[in-house]
Amino acid sequence: MKNLTLMGKPLFNSNGDIDPNTAGFKYIISTLSYIRSQIVTQKFFEVDIPDYVPVDVGEAGFMDEIIQNTEFYSGGSFFDGDVGSGGSRIATVDASMVPLRMPTGKWRKKAEWTLFEIKQAAEASKWDPIEAKMRSLKKNWDLGIQELAFLGKPGDTVMTGLLNNSQVAIDTTTIDFAISDMSDTYFQAFVKNILGSYFSNSNSTVLPDTFVMPADDYLGLGSAASATYPNISKFEYLENTFKKMTHNDGFRVLPLAYSIVANSRAELTTPRYVLYRNDPETLSMTVPVDFTMLEPRTVNSMDWVQLAYGMYSGVLINRPREVEYFDLTST
């Protein structure tokens, strides 16, 4: 494995050359080496989950599952109630309750350090390994909850995310090419048909307020909408159309890296676009117990452990017809 370096200098531990998994505090410097006090931290893909899915934190704490009751009506045709049409029989309406169930998961992890590690860090640099380990613990939680929001729990067909719910219909005819690559003809056909597909899928009951698309396609929407309209980008044209046709100035077109096949943890076989209502009655994600750290513990004042715990769940889609997937059929 290639040695880890810092500013061109090889890193060492007490055993000599090391790999990134065993990085320590020792590295070769000269009397002319200057060590910056600022430490560059690792970056991750992060999004604000509520921009995509409503999130309830603290609900159903320490429960095994979440049950969402949904109400359904029946009653036949309005005209069944016409007086005299049924003799002595009077048409009846009814209502029923159907529960939707979502399991919860329990999570715990720990960070460890030793007194030697802390003393060495204090002598060698201004880096605080305890604080860094706490950040690592919290980041592990944050990124896990983020992945859950979009892709669900690996191998679980119930605890799914925004992108892979089996109850949501998939349209495979509306998007033939990546939107940023569409010709004038295909782009106009796409804009014409996508809201119609959603309206039909929702049984003509609602219109959407959010369109999520693969981030790489989204980033290409800055090109001109068409040769006829060179002064407006595809993004502006698409967003304006959504806003005007839904009568909703708050309509949002959002990029998402998880919609790209390579970032989907093998949940997707083709880039996926999602048109839906970002409304708590349509869908929501629950975090029953938010990230919580216990007090650090030691049994010998030399070795320390920091435990953290929490509970999580997937995205519960209460009204699957108010969400529609659009899969790219040509790549």
Q: Tell me what pLDDT residue 34 has.
A: 76
Q: Are the CB atoms for 195 and 246 separated by under 8 Å? A: yes
For the chain, count helices (H), then strands (E): 5, 17
Specify if 79 maps to a domain.
Answer: no
Specify if 26 maps to a domain.
Answer: no
Distance CA 53, CA 294 (A): 29
Specify if 41 maps to a domain.
Answer: no
Specify which residues 317 forms β-bridges with: 283
pLDDT of residue 33 exceeding 90 = no
Specify if 113 maps to a domain.
Answer: yes
Q: Tell me what pLDDT residue 7 has.
A: 40
Specify if 157 maps to a domain.
Answer: yes
pLDDT of residue 139 exceeding 70 = yes
Distance CA 237, CA 138 (A): 40
Residue 234 identity: K
Q: Name the pLDDT band for 18 (thresholds 50, 70, 90).
A: very low
CATH code, domain carrying 316: 3.30.2320.10
Count CB-CB contacts under 10 A for residue 195: 18
Overall domain count for the chain: 1
Q: Are the CB atoms for 70 and 96 separated by under 8 Å? A: no
pLDDT of residue 293 exceeding 70 = yes
Average pLDDT over residues 266-270: 96
Q: Tell me what pLDDT residue 331 has.
A: 59
| Lowest mean pLDDT segment, chosen from 31-35, 41-45, 52-56, 283-287 | 31-35
Range of the domain at 143: 53-68+104-331
Distance CA 208, CA 201 (A): 11
Specify if 238 maps to a domain.
Answer: yes
Work out the mean pLDDT of the chain and round it to a whole number.
89
Q: Express each pLDDT in 228-263 by its tens digit.
A: 878 999 999 999 999 999 999 999 999 999 999 999
- Cα angle, residue 251 at apex, residues 245 and 255 outer, rounded to 5°: 120
| Lowest mean pLDDT segment, chosen from 16-30, 151-165, 259-273, 307-321 | 16-30
Please state the pTM of the whole predicted model: 0.87
Average pLDDT over residues 115-140: 88
Q: Name the pLDDT band for 161 (thresholds 50, 70, 90).
A: very high
Specify if 6 maps to a domain.
Answer: no
Burial of 23 (0-12, 13-18, 19+ CB in 10 A): middle
| Lowest mean pLDDT segment, chosen from 8-17, 94-103, 177-186, 222-231 | 8-17
Specify if 75 maps to a domain.
Answer: no
